[in-house]
């Protein structure tokens, strides 16, 4: 039997049993156990991990554990540049596009509002989300840690907060999204690009009060919905500005 000592840092402790949080602890491991196997056996999805040090040396998920190893596991670094160190994922994602699980419809809606391509269907099964990730290289957003443990899902975020506005700010902060936001460029309903359209072209589709009060419109060529800068637009804009300020 192999015994290794583990220490998890910052928010990764949220996944651990209370008696193991913010302290070193020894754990028995199978002889062929890798760092990934043991990290997930202890409850932490591999997608939440950015850096692993074994005996002070940066390693990947495939490092076989040996008796006496000391393992330090870190989440994403917000303030320290660790670019020269080996990361656990072979390639970072350069394009921020997402797939959200069935419990995060509100967050998906707000991410589209901010201009981030986000797939969502409340009938998605875990296997469908996994297939989307494999085919399209998307980042999984979920509150299901078991989904994030699937081997083929390399990039994902466990969403800790419960309300969509706070979830949006959480994702903005964790993934540094503020500089990439392109608000009100995607359809909130179907995720397709929006385009500006003349008022005369949509006049027949507008409520009377909107015809009188607004002159600038955009539309989606997929679902044919029309959007304007009404009270809903202003509420969403306020949510986005809160996230931009806190990022």
Work out the number of other CB atoms within 10 angstroms of the CB of residue 161. Answer: 14
Q: How far apart are the C-alpha atoms of 59 and 232, rounded to whole Å? A: 48
Number of domains into which the chain is organized: 2
Q: Tell me, yes or no, whether 166 and 102 share the same domain.
A: yes
Residue 184: left (phi > 0), alpha (psi -120 to 50), or beta? left
Residue 93 lies in a domain: no
Q: Which of 22, 39, 74 is the last residue of a domain?
A: 74
Q: How far apart are the C-alpha atoms of 53 and 65, rounded to whole Å? A: 12
Residue 149 lies in a domain: yes
Residue 21 lies in a domain: yes
Q: Tell me, yes or no, whether 103 and 167 share the same domain.
A: yes
The 10s digit of each residue's pLDDT in 35-78 is 999 999 999 999 999 999 999 999 999 999 999 999 999 997 65
> Could you tell me the residue range of the domain that residue 140 belongs to?
98-180
Q: Tell me, yes or no, whether 13 and 67 share the same domain.
A: yes
Chain-centroid distance, C-alpha 124? 17
**Which distant-in-sequence residues (6+ apart) come within 8 Å of 72 by Cβ?**
6, 7, 9, 52, 53, 54
The predicted pLDDT at position 247 comes to 56
SS3 label, residue 232: helix
Q: Tell me, yes or no, whether 63 and 133 share the same domain.
A: no
Residue 246 lies in a domain: no
- Residue 143, token pair as written in the block: 């509150």
Residue 226 lies in a domain: no
Residue 198 lies in a domain: no
Residue 155 lies in a domain: yes
**Which distant-in-sequence residues (6+ apart) come within 8 Å of 106 by Cβ?**
163, 164, 167
SS3 label, residue 135: helix
Residue 157 lies in a domain: yes
Q: Which of 180, 195, 224 is the last residue of a domain?
A: 180
Q: Which of 131, 158, 180 is the last residue of a domain?
A: 180
The 10s digit of each residue's pLDDT in 125-178 is 999 999 999 999 899 999 999 999 999 998 999 999 999 999 999 999 988 888
Q: Tell me, yes or no, whether 63 and 105 share the same domain.
A: no
SS3 label, residue 142: strand
Q: What angle do CA 220, 223, 227 make, to 5 degrees?
A: 45
CATH number for the domain spanning 28: value is 3.10.20.30
HSE-up (13 A, CA, CB side) for residue 11: 16
Backbone angles phi, psi at 193, to 5 degrees: -65, 145
The predicted pLDDT at position 174 comes to 87
Please provide the average confidence, as pLDDT, over all residues in the chain: 91
- Residue 92, token pair as written in the block: 């970072």
By the 10 Å C-beta count (0-12 exposed, 13-18 middle, 19+ buried), 141 is classed as buried
Confidence (pTM)? 0.82
**Which distant-in-sequence residues (6+ apart) come within 8 Å of 125 by Cβ?**
none
Q: Tell me, yes or no, whether 111 and 169 share the same domain.
A: yes
The 10s digit of each residue's pLDDT in 97-115 is 999 999 999 999 999 999 9
């Amino acid at each position: 039997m192999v015994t290794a000592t583990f220490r998890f840092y910052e928010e990764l402790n949220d996944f651990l049993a209370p008696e193991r949080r913010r302290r070193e602890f020894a754990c028995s491991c199978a002889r062929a156990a890798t760092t990934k196997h043991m990290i997930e056996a202890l409850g932490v999805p591999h997608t939440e991990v950015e850096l692993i040090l074994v005996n002070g040396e940066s390693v990947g998920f495939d490092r076989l554990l040996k008796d006496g190893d000391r393992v330090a596991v870190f989440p994403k670094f917000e303030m320290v540049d660790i670019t020269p160190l080996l990361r656990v994922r072979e390639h970072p994602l350069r394009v921020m596009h997402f797939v959200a699980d069935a419990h995060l419809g509100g967050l998906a809606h707000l991410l589209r509002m901010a201009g981030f391509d986000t797939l969502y269907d409340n009938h998605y099964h875990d296997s469908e989300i996994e297939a989307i990730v494999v085919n399209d290289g998307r980042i999984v957003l979920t509150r299901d840690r078991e989904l994030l443990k699937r081997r083929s899902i390399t990039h994902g975020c466990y969403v800790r907060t419960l309300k969509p506005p706070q979830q949006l700010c959480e994702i903005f902060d964790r993934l540094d999204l503020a500089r990439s936001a392109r608000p009100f460029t995607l359809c909130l309903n179907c995720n397709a690009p929006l385009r500006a359209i003349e008022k005369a072209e949509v006049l027949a589709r507008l409520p009377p009060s909107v015809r009188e009060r607004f002159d600038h419109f955009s539309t989606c060529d997929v679902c044919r919905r029309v959007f304007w800068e009404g009270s809903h637009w202003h509420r969403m804009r306020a949510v986005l500005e809160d996230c931009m300020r806190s990022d």
